[in-house]
């Protein structure tokens, strides 16, 4: 028996647990993303922190706040809001 047999077995077990984890993610967390496109941008750390704090204070996600902001921009420009939250 190799002196690394235990390490190989541990690594194999870890890989199997990782596969189970990824299957669980695909089954739940990724379904809401199907058919969606990511919209993003780069902003200052201060703005990022402020949006994160506001989201926590309101008890919503940053994504929900951004959806609300995009709806407001669409209304401002005479477009139909989508209500994405």
DSSP string, 22-55: HHHHHHHTSGGGTT---------HHHHHHHHHHH
Kindly tell me if the per-residue pLDDT of 10 is higher than 60. yes
Query: Residue 62: which residues within 8 A CB-CB, separation 6 or more?
Result: 51, 52, 55
Residue 76 tokens read as 């401002």
Contact at 8 Å (CB) between 81 and 68?
A: no
How confident is the model at residue 5, as a pLDDT? 78
How confident is the model at residue 11, as a pLDDT? 76
How confident is the model at residue 64, as a pLDDT? 94
Percent of the chain beyond pLDDT 90?
51
User: Whole-model pTM?
Assistant: 0.60
Domain boundaries, the chain: 1-33, 43-85
């Amino acid at each position: 028996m190799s002196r690394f047999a235990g390490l190989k077995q541990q690594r194999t077990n870890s890989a199997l647990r990782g596969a189970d984890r990824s299957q669980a993610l695909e089954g739940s967390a990724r379904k809401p993303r199907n058919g969606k496109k990511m919209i993003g941008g780069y902003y200052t750390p201060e703005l990022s922190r402020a949006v994160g704090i506001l989201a926590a204070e309101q008890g919503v996600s940053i994504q929900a706040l951004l959806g609300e902001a995009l709806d407001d921009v669409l209304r401002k420009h005479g477009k139909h809001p989508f209500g994405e939250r």
